[in-house]
Amino acid sequence: MEIQILGSGTCVPSDRRGSSGYLIILESTKILFDCGNGVTWKLEKSGINYLDIDHIFITHMHPDHNADLIPFLFATKYPAEKPRTKELNLWGPPGFKDFIKSMQNIYGNWLNPDNTKISELENHDYSFDEFNFSAIRTGHTENSLAFRLESKGKSVVYSGDTDYFDEFIDFARDCDVLIIECSLPDRLKRKGHLTPADVIKIASSVKPKILALTHMYPICDSENIYEQVDNETDCKVILGEDFLSINF
């Protein structure tokens, strides 16, 4: 499995970190976790044709996690030499269908490409040809989700935006890669987001093989977030960067 971090940042503009987007590349399936502003362009920069994406899973309704659905869907309408042929599956939390419909009310048919299926994620497991998928509510917003994906014995968990909650430990336990938000330094802790102390607590129970820190506000880049977490955990810690690939 390969993961490409397309956006390791937040809503706050940063010349180092863009808004959330994570590309999961399986043998014959390409999946996007979140589609924050700039992600469609970054796919192209990563050498991935946006028409090849099979599934987009959205964690929650903050624009830094879904705003680029507008350019993505608009581009998918473009009558290119090779128009999109495979089905595009859009998945989001409860309320997601209304969200897409509202955008279509504004932009009309331009945001309504052919062969697109829109679904809301329920609290159960999903099976696809090449992977299994499950979601859990995180409490960051009223309907925010975290994701777990397993394929051929490999697993990745993406926290989305979240604060610490006990159920997440079982949900993420023993995954190969845990992509976890680490929004702010401990001294700036605010409800609804994680800091290094929270990440250390989670990682010590979940015991992922690889812990990838992401969703960092610009202030994190002037503090030793990475060292703090790396010193206190046994797993391999990666400081997320835009365009960083994780192969496992």
Residues at the interface with Zn ion (CB under 5 A)? 62, 64, 161
- Cβ proximity to Zn ion, 17 vs 84, nearer residue: 17
How many whole angstroms separate alpha carbon 94 and alpha carbon 98?
Answer: 9
Of residues 173, 213, 208, the one with CA closest to residue 197: 213
Residue type, 77: K
Q: How far is the CB of 69 from Zn ion (least distance, A)?
A: 15
Q: How far is the CB of 10 from Zn ion (least distance, A)?
A: 5
- Cβ proximity to Zn ion, 23 vs 75, nearer residue: 23
Q: How far is the CB of 240 from Zn ion (least distance, A)?
A: 13
- Cβ proximity to Zn ion, 62 vs 84, nearer residue: 62
C-alpha to C-alpha distances, 207 to 5, 204, 222, 224, nearest whole angstrom: 21, 6, 27, 22
- Cβ proximity to Zn ion, 37 vs 76, nearer residue: 37
- Cβ proximity to Zn ion, 42 vs 62, nearer residue: 62
How many whole angstroms separate alpha carbon 240 and alpha carbon 237?
Answer: 9
Cross-strand bridge partners of residue 90: 56, 118
Q: How many CA atoms lie within 13 A of 146 on its CB side?
A: 26
Q: What is the largest CA-CA distance in the chain?
A: 53
Q: How far is the CB of 3 from Zn ion (least distance, A)?
A: 18
Question: Residue 29 CA to chain centroid, in angstroms?
Answer: 16
How many whole angstroms separate alpha carbon 113 and alpha carbon 8?
Answer: 28
Q: How far is the CB of 34 from Zn ion (least distance, A)?
A: 8
For 61, the token pair is 């309704």
Q: How far is the CB of 93 from Zn ion (least distance, A)?
A: 11
- Cβ proximity to Zn ion, 65 vs 84, nearer residue: 65
- The Cβ of residue 244 has, within 10 Å, a number of other Cβ atoms equal to 15
- Cβ proximity to Zn ion, 58 vs 75, nearer residue: 58
For 79, the token pair is 């009558």
Q: Are 209 and 177 in contact (CB under 8 A)?
A: yes
Q: How far is the CB of 36 from Zn ion (least distance, A)?
A: 7
